[in-house]
Chains A and B, each alone.
Chain A
């Protein structure tokens, strides 16, 4: 029987990533190994602004793992991620092969000098619009109240 390969993308709460990257990554890998999956590659895929807010977060870190699974435990894996508060979203798909570039990208993460950039601190920001740079004080025109022409519509 051909071993089934799966691709999983997990969206993690940046708060967890900020605490410790290895621990954050382990929330993904531990679940996989716990239910009998063999991890082929696993890496930080991206950190970005989400297309919509999830649990009040505007940003999150994506983790991409490829694994093989012989056992019939997929439902348990999905369930565990669904119940985990720090996992904002997850997706598991069957794939034909692990992309060639994936090994290299995942290996780079194991280098001693690999540092996960700290996620920007705005994942709790409520505003949708980016904050506009404040106008310097000396550029704000203060109208002279004695000079206001009340009849003018301008």
Chain B
């Protein structure tokens, strides 16, 4: 498989951050930040700021624990 090169997502900050704070219940939103293999996208790819990226990781881990998201894709 050829390596995919994608431009990093534009940084999310300020107002956007507030409105899009990752929540473990919002499965459809969280799915956008998972790779095809179910791995969490890096901050570069997700576009989240450092704090939100942390929150994203936590939200995905919680969703996985509740079987709302898979561990592997």
Contact = CB atoms under 8 A, between A and B. Distances in A.
Interface of A: 9, 11, 50-52, 54, 60, 62, 88-89, 91, 93
A89 B61 CA distance: 13
Nearest to B70: A51
A91 B67 contact: no
B62 interface: yes
Contacts of B56: none
Contacts of B69: 51
Contacts of A51: 64, 67-71
Query: Which of A51, A52, A91, A93 gathers most chain B CB within 10 Å?
Result: A51
Which of A52, A54, A60 has the most C-beta atoms of chain B within 10 angstroms of its own C-beta? A52
Nearest to B64: A51
Interface in B38-73: 62, 64-71
A89 B70 contact: no
11 contacts: A9-B66, A11-B66, A51-B64, A51-B67, A51-B68, A52-B67, A62-B66, A88-B67, A89-B67, A91-B65, A93-B62
A93 B62 CA distance: 10
A51 B69 CA distance: 5
Contacts of B64: 51
A50 B24 CA distance: 14
B26 to A, nearest CB: 12
B30 to A, nearest CB: 11
B71 A89 contact: no
A51 B71 CA distance: 8
A33 B49 CA distance: 40
B67 A54 contact: yes
A9 B66 CA distance: 8
A60 B62 contact: no
Contacts of A60: 67
B64 to A, nearest CB: 7
Lowest 7 CB-CB distances: which A-B pairs, in order?
A50-B67, A51-B70, A51-B67, A51-B69, A89-B66, A52-B70, A91-B66
Contacts of B70: 51-52
